Amino acid sequence: MKASVTQKTIRQARAVLALGSLLALAACGGTALTTMTQATSEPFAGLPALVVPAGYRLVWADEFNTDGLPDPAKWSFDTERNKDGWYNHERQYYSRDRVENAVVQGGRLRITARKEALSGAPDWGGQPYTSARLLTRGKAAWTYGFFEVRAKLPCGKGTWPAIWTLGTGGRWPEDGELDILEQIGHRPDRIFSTVHMAAGFGGKGSGTEVGRPGVCDGFHNYQMLWTAGEIRFAMDGVVHHVYANPKTGNAAWPFDAPQYLLLNLAIGGDLGGEVDEGMFPRIFEIEYVRVYQAGR
């Protein structure tokens, strides 16, 4: 594949994006809302398929081959805001070490959202649903690389699955956020990817929402190629967003430092919206997670 897109192609793609209508979407990592440009057609149709670049090798993976709870050497459970409530007015309680919400079974990680209130849990914050949020914080983080996650989305009304990364520094949005894949269940034929940083959060996040008919019908590959010069996002190799390094400082590009990976299934909230009470349980299935890097 080509190493980078030409500046002319980037300008043309941005012009297409500028024609789209603005859509208010909520950031995964914080409470602010993000304004994204909704693409009305394929904004980067001229780019080659996104595949593992030549010279890259696999440096970290989970193939989910061992049944039971997720591998504790690779994943932790994030439960930090259960008591106070999760960002964006989400309505789920994220459990820890509970196979009802996160289990490896038959070669797949199954993150399951359920309609239940764990009122006996000491950190329960009144949530009417349970789910799980897994992360590699403190176990694995990367600066640059090709990321690929093969997953099947839950696609129920009120679901909000995400595959994303956060900066290890612990500051949001200063340390950045890369949303490889998000989807909201009440628009099941669309997906989106977003970049957040100090100069681009709130109403200024850089992202694209695109139509992908059939996205709920089976497993698909969600990909990100992150280099020092740009970040590309794709589904099944088809690029739908490119964020080029503007070279204007850390506020617009904090992406020369490590990020860790998160997988979660949120329910309701500012973006998840109205919840179909009859849809549960709803399962976000992940077949593998793979990270490749160059020259290592």
**Residue 152 DSSP SS3:** strand
Taking the C-alpha atoms of residue 257 and residue 269, their distance in angstroms, rounded to an integer, is 30
Q: How far is CA 220 from CA 148, 149, 153, 226, in A?
A: 10, 8, 9, 20
Task: Give pLDDT, residue 133.
Answer: 98
- Mean pLDDT of successive 10-residue stretches along the chain, which has 296 residues: 34 33 42 41 86 98 98 98 96 98 98 98 98 98 98 98 97 96 95 94 80 94 98 97 96 97 97 97 98 90
Task: Give pLDDT, residue 42.
Answer: 78
Round to the nearest angstrom and report the end-to-end CA distance of the chain. Answer: 20
Task: Give pLDDT, residue 204.
Answer: 63
pTM score, two decimals? 0.89
Task: Tell me how many degrees the CA angle 261-159-282 measures, rounded to the nearest 5.
Answer: 95
Instruction: Report whether CATH 2.60.120.200 matches the domain 7-294.
Output: yes
Identify the DSSP state of 11. Answer: H
Q: Which residues are catalytic?
A: 177, 182
